Structure 1
Amino acid sequence: MSHIDDEKAMYGAKGSQVPQGEDASVAVLPAEGIDDTAVDVHTHLYDGVQRRMEQRHMQMIALAGTLGTGLFLGSGKAIVHGGPAGALLAYIHVGTIAYAMLVSLGEMAVYAPISGGYIHFAERWLNPAAGFALGYQVVFSGIISLPTEIISASILISFWDPAFPISHQAAYITALMIVCALVNYLGVRWFGESEFIFAMIKITLIVGLIIAGLVVDLGGGPNGDRIGFRYWKHPGAFAEYHTTGSTGKFLGWFTDLLQAAYSYLGMEQIAVAAAEVKNPRIAVAKACRRIFYRIALFYIIGILIIGMLVPSDSQDLLQSTGTTAASSPFVLAFNLAGIKVLPSIINAGVLTSAFSAANSGLYGSSRMLYGLALRGQAPRIFARTTSKGLPIFSLMLVTVFMALSYMALGSGAQTALNWLSNLTSLGGFITWCTICVTYLRFRAGIKAQGIDSSKFHYRGPFQPYAAYWCIFWCCIVIVFNGWEVFTHGGWNSSDFVVAYINLPLFFLLIGGFLIIKKPTHLKPIEMDFYSNIPTDEEVSYEEPPPKTIFHKIANYIFT
């Protein structure tokens, strides 16, 4: 293909038409001069989703998917395993890995803001088998994780209902499922608005906790005790895990590395929403440039404050169940300082986080299934949308799996559900690794076809080294995720399966697709960078200026 000089041609002069009207439908047609059968891009149906999401919604989806129970409740375990310094270094290190993934994904998503997100990128620029395997892994992970978030939210409600009989839990689960489904069935605009509100609540909560924690650390609590870095000196900056000496400190840090990584998972959701946001090239580019710094700021400063307030050998942290606000290291810290009014406030904020995770899971899984169906890799009925762009049948199927939440009402079934949820634990790392491998292929194709990347709306910094950094560390996490199975406590077959089953399943899906479909693996010069990709004119949108003080502040902060 020839060198492309103007942006319109660069982004696909005959790509999908993306009108902005309320009842607009979107036709996806191959570009003129390109043999659609030669590139194995299965876009046989109409892409019916519509761009109804605002820029602020896009950025909040990325933020709301990551800032949650991992920080509010689970961060205490990071302090126990690695000590305050080990936990802090782990969160900083994983932050660099997440950033490397985000800039790789962002460049592709800004170039091609289309349905399917990174599974479509993997199919188009890596190999159709990779896109197929990645898509079904993400959908499977989503539908299994969805009921666990509903269950977590119901348990958080039990903080105010100490008796918590089964009948009450069943009622809470039912109510949560109805509200979660209702938000999604009302359409992407309602989903975006709800996630924006949830994220504002979580941001307010974490900022308030950081400020309150700093005040307490400096001696502003009721007991007037100035803590400073006392707990970095005793019991120490690094905790020893499983063994003593430098080896124990390293194992504590590495264990925190895995836990911190789970806290960052979810940032990739911005590529899923790119097909439904107004002015996606501007919105996604801004999200990539700004969202990570906000998340890193909250997590890194949050974990620093926690490490200053609570000793790593605290029995309350060691005995923490991680299910309600009583388990939060912030609550433990404020109780030590003599402040007793915060648990209910924190529990309410964490409840919002859990519900937001379920809300986002329902949205993301349904859109991934829709993206698979759009390219012929799932039954065509799941590619149908309503007149307002809602992928109704994909959403209905994913909604059915919320009923697995009722498994929490039986102890044996609850164990089975937790086991299934753990089976998907490596899915995020496999996704990140695949995204960066896809980016390297994307970059090779751009270079081979003489496309001028200097004209892109967003170019990821530190490339291709950022992609290599992410791939390397994702492989480390994937390989050593189950290290405790081999070194401590004796062999446990079920723990081994939970730690590693995702990997052979992923390659089984790839192998099965290669054997059955026999797709052509394209050389970089043969890759498709044009068909079905909208031009700037087709997706441009001028947002109306803010009118109220609140909207002006929100516009300044989030756009």
Structure 2
Amino acid sequence: MASKDKEEAVSSALSEKADNVAPPISDLCDEEKASFSTVEHDGVHDGVKRQLKQRHVQMIAIAGTIGTGLFLGSGGALRAAGPLGALMAYGLVGTVAYASLCSVAEMTTWAPISGSYPYYASRWVDPAFGFAVGWNSCYSLAISLPGEITAATILLTFWDHSREHLAAYTAAIAVLVITLNVFGVKYFGESEFYFSLIKISLIIGLILCGLVIDLGGAPNHDRIGFRYWKEPGALARANLVPNLHTDRFLAFISVVVQAAYSFQGMELIAVAASETESPRRNIAKAVHRVFYRILIFYIFGILIIGMCVPYNDTSLLQATGNAAQSPFVIAINRAGIKVLPHIINAAIFTSAFSAANSSLYCGSRILYGLALRGQAPPIFSYCTKRGLPLPAVAAIGSFCLLAFMNAGSGGGEKAFDWLVHLTTTGGFIGWLALNVTYARFWRGMTVQGYDLRKNVYHSRLQPYLSYWGIFWTSSFILISGFKVFFKFNFQDFLASYINIPLFLALFLGYRWSQGTKFRRAEDMDLVTGIPSIEETEVPEVPPQTIGEKIAAVVF
């Protein structure tokens, strides 16, 4: 009942300035109206359709950030900072990720339209800011696409050690990723749904397996408990400075940055809002469950590997890129359990493939949103009758070719690694931007007399969550390459920090050329072009059968 009252409040608020709202598609029935993202954005027709269902959005939200960063990268975190240091780092970053998601979710449930947070930045902060945020996200995702394809290819070396086959594997994975996106958002949603099921099943199985190993249930019957927290210890050193406590703190800082990379990607549900059925209701439901996902999957996962594997284990030093470097697999091998590593590697492969799939989807939709508002070439605003922004998909998909740099021999692999590191700060800038945008959105809503508590989704901790996100994401950007200052290397410095001047150049260049200004709170347009509840939300059908009731609880 409360949810319905909120929907009515939002619909009423959006109708207050009826003359400014884009006209309804009067010739269509209610269900057909809801299948379109909206009628127009700033006079430009938005052709995408709402084909992602509740179960798609729920699974994407629950498992969207679970990937190689948790399955493989957590071993590096354990080695770098020890079990307690890694646990604290992932816990801190988890709060920042949650704060950022709450911020973008609240804006998205108010305005579920194409362009997502880059468009919100243009609308409620400054068009130049939105331009810079949009292109920063676009090129970061475009470069991460071949990076994820490469990660998936390397995972196959767990079974096939020959480099001669890397090019063929790369081509096959790239074609599959592009094909899934070309088929349309419905097939993207279905593939991500099943990939998410695999990831969730894997992480739950690994946590339970790790708990059994720790309690002595493995074939070797060795009850470990918290043995490794005592010897070699709970905190590791970074070996950067002589002072013990300072060195341990620097180790913790290095893992904070690494953990932040692992959490990136949770903003996918906001990018998908314009193609989600009943976006306000479904995104609100999804975000309510994210806190538990972070707690169970990430925090418990890091706790378990810290209990089962000592941070000085030599196996943690290997960087194979496949399941052999996973701390979960290391624990399983130490316990004498066979076969499982092969199953784990296969599941992690689907996780890497899913990340590539999501990068192409998100990058193409952000490029499409930029083009709708004249901030990208107009060809990218074209959309097929099935709701597919085909030119945008083709443009981002063409970056798959960069993955072949890693499949050959010579300098290509090194150049590719440098190119990927060049955009690692892009995700942090995206988090910072959406928190800054929310702070301005909150200010505008408050000054203009809107009650945010009546929005379909609202966190009682706002706007303080956005302030928390602004502080820590700014910190992540500044410390992302801190190690370079202990042993200076110009290439590493450039790779770590080049995104900062690049973002500023995009912002200042657009501001100077277009003469834009910051939006004043009292002048912000909080209504125009935003579809009402009636235009987006399909009436919720209560579950009837036992299967439907179980699905309603799970999804």
Question: Alpha-carbon deviation of 1:293?
Answer: 2.0
Decide which moves more: 324-333 or 395-404.
395-404
**1:266 corresponding residue in structure 2:** 265
Moved more, 121-130 or 334-343: 334-343
TM-score (normalised: structure 2) = 0.93
Distance 2:234 2:326 in 1: 20
Cα distance in 1, alignment partners of residues 52 and 149 from structure 2? 25
Structure 1 SS opposite 2:44? coil
Aligned to 1:281: 280
- Tell me if the contact between 2:236 and 2:251 (Cα under 8 Å) persists in the aligned partners: yes
Residue of structure 2 in register with 1:350 after alignment: 348
Identify if the C-alpha distance between structure 1 residues 550 and 353 changes in structure 2 by more than 3 Å, giving closer, same or farther.
Answer: farther
Cα distance in 1, alignment partners of residues 109 and 33 from structure 2: 23
Number of residue pairs matched by the alignment: 537
**C-alpha distance after superposition, 1:421-478 (max 9, x if no partner):** 1011111111111111111110111111111223211112312211111111111111
2:378 corresponding residue in structure 1: 380
Measure how far apart 1:379 and its partner are.
1.2
Give the distance between the partners of 2:546 and 2:175, measured in 1 at CA: 34
Residue type at the aligned position of 2:503? F
TM-score relative to the length of structure 1: 0.93
Corresponding residue for 2:522?
525
Task: Give the equivalent residue in structure 1 for 2:213.
Answer: 216
Is the CA contact (8 Å cut-off) linking 2:383 and 2:390 kept in structure 1?
yes
Name the structure 2 match of 1:36.
Answer: none
Match of 1:542 among 527, 531, 539: 539
Please provide the CA RMSD for this pair.
Answer: 1.8
5+ residue gaps, structure 2:
1-7
Does the CA-based 8 Å contact 1:135-1:369 persist in structure 2? yes
Please name the residue that 1:28 is paired with. 39
- In structure 2, the residue corresponding to 1:294 is in which secondary structure? helix
**Aligned positions of 1:59-208 closer than 5 A:** 59-162=58-161, 164-166=162-164, 168-208=165-205
SS class of match (2:396): helix
Matched, 1:485 2:484: yes
Alignment identity in percent? Answer: 50
Checking the alignment, whether the CA contact within 8 Å between 2:167 and 2:408 is kept in structure 1 is no
**Contact 1:22/1:388 (<8 A) preserved:** no
Counterpart-to-counterpart distance in 1, 2:189 and 2:413: 31
- Amino acid across the alignment from 1:500: Y
Q: What is the distance in 1 between the residues matched to 2:294 and 2:285? A: 14
**Residue of structure 1 equivalent to 2:475:** 476
Q: For residues 153 and 514 of structure 1, do their structure 2 counterparts lie closer, same or farther at Cα, with a shift above 3 Å needed? A: same
Q: Distance in 1 between matches of 2:88 and 2:397?
A: 39
- Give the aligned partner of residue 361 of structure 1: 359
Q: Is the 8 A contact 1:16 1:533 kept in 2?
A: no
Structure 1 residue 100: Cα displacement: 1.2
After superposition, the C-alpha distances for 1:80-138 in whole angstroms (9 at most, x for unaligned) are 11100110011111111111111111111110000000001100001100100010011
Letter in 1 for 2:399: F
- Structure 2 counterpart of 1:422, one-letter code: H
1:343-391 per-position Cα deviation (integer Å, ceiling 9, x unaligned)? 1011001000000000001100000000000111011111111111111
Are residues 347 and 17 of structure 1, via their aligned partners in 2, closer, same or farther at CA, if it must alter by over 3 Å?
farther
CA contact (8 A) 1:23 1:387 kept: no
Q: Could you tell me whether the CA contact under 8 Å between 1:125 and 1:528 is conserved in 2?
A: yes
Counterpart residue type for residue 21 of structure 1: E
Q: Which residue of 2 aligns with 1:235?
A: 232
Deviation at 1:23, TM superposition (A): 11
Q: 1:112 is aligned with what amino acid?
A: A
Deviation at 1:7, TM superposition (A): 3.2
Q: Which amino acid aligns with 2:221?
A: G
Partners of 1:198 and 1:17 in 2: CA distance:
37
Structure 1 window deviating more from structure 2 (252-261 vs 543-552): it is 543-552
Q: 132-141 or 445-454: which moved more?
A: 445-454
Structure 1 residues 25 and 269, CA gap change in structure 2 (3 angstroms) = closer
Letter in 1 for 2:272: A
Question: How big is each residue's C-alpha offset from its partner over 1:274-294, in whole Å with a ceiling of 9 and x where there is no partner?
Answer: 101011110111111112321
Corresponding position of 2:14? 11
The code of the aligned residue for 1:406 comes to: F
For 1:512, the equivalent position in structure 2 comes to 509
Cα deviation per residue 1:465-519 (whole Å; 9 max; x = unaligned)?
11111111111111122111112xx320001001100011001100000110111
Residues 17 and 26, structure 1, Cα contact 8 Å, conserved in 2: no
Letter paired with 1:434: A
Find the aligned partners of 2:293 and 2:38 in 1 and give their Cα distance: 36
In the alignment, residue 436 of structure 1 is paired with which amino acid?
N
Do the aligned residues in 2 keep the contact of 1:108 with 1:439 (CA within 8 Å)? Answer: yes
For structure 1, the residue ranges without an aligned partner over 5 or more in a row are 31-42
Specify the SS of the correspondent of 1:426. helix
CA separation in 2, counterparts of 1:522 and 1:73? 43
**Map of 1:299-378 to 2, 5 A cutoff?**
299-317=298-316, 319-378=317-376
1:397 is matched with 395
Counterpart residue type for residue 239 of structure 1: A
Q: 2-side partners of 1:352 and 1:541: how far apart?
A: 32
2:266 and 2:36 map into 1 onto residues whose CA distance is: 28
Q: Which shows bigger deviation, 135-144 or 514-523?
A: 514-523
Alpha-carbon spacing, 1:294–1:6, altered in 2? closer, same or farther (3 Å) = closer
Tell me by how many angstroms 1:554 deviates.
3.1
Q: What letter is aligned with 2:384?
A: T
**Is contact 1:53-1:276 (8 Å) kept?**
yes
The answer to whether the Cα contact below 8 Å between 1:183 and 1:191 also exists between their aligned partners in 2 is yes
Deviation of 1:24 after TM superposition, in Å, equals 6.2
Greater CA drift, 95-104 or 211-220: 95-104
Counterpart contact for 1:26–1:46, Cα < 8 Å: no
Please tell me the residue identity of whatever aligns with 1:222.
P
- Alpha-carbon distance between aligned partners in 2 of 1:78 and 1:520, rounded to the nearest angstrom: 43
The amino acid of 1:510's aligned partner reads F
Q: Distance in 2 between matches of 1:114 and 1:90?
A: 34
Distance 2:460 2:214 in 1: 37
1:436 has 2:439 as partner? no
Shift of 1:310: 0.3
Q: Which residue of 1 aligns with 2:550?
A: 553
Change (3 A) 1:16 1:131: farther
Alignment partner, residue 40 of structure 1: none
Whichever residue aligns with residue 534 of structure 2, its letter is E
The equivalent of 1:499 in structure 2 is 496
In the alignment, does 2:69 pair up with 1:58?
no
Question: Please, which moves more after superposition, 368-377 or 455-464?
Answer: 455-464
**Displacement after TM superposition at 1:6 (Å):** 5.0
Give the drift of 1:304. 0.3
Q: For 2:71 and 2:37, how far apart are their aligned partners in 1?
A: 41
Deviations 1:222-258 (A, max 9, x none): 0111000000000001111114511121111111111
Distance 1:326 1:449, change over 3 A: same
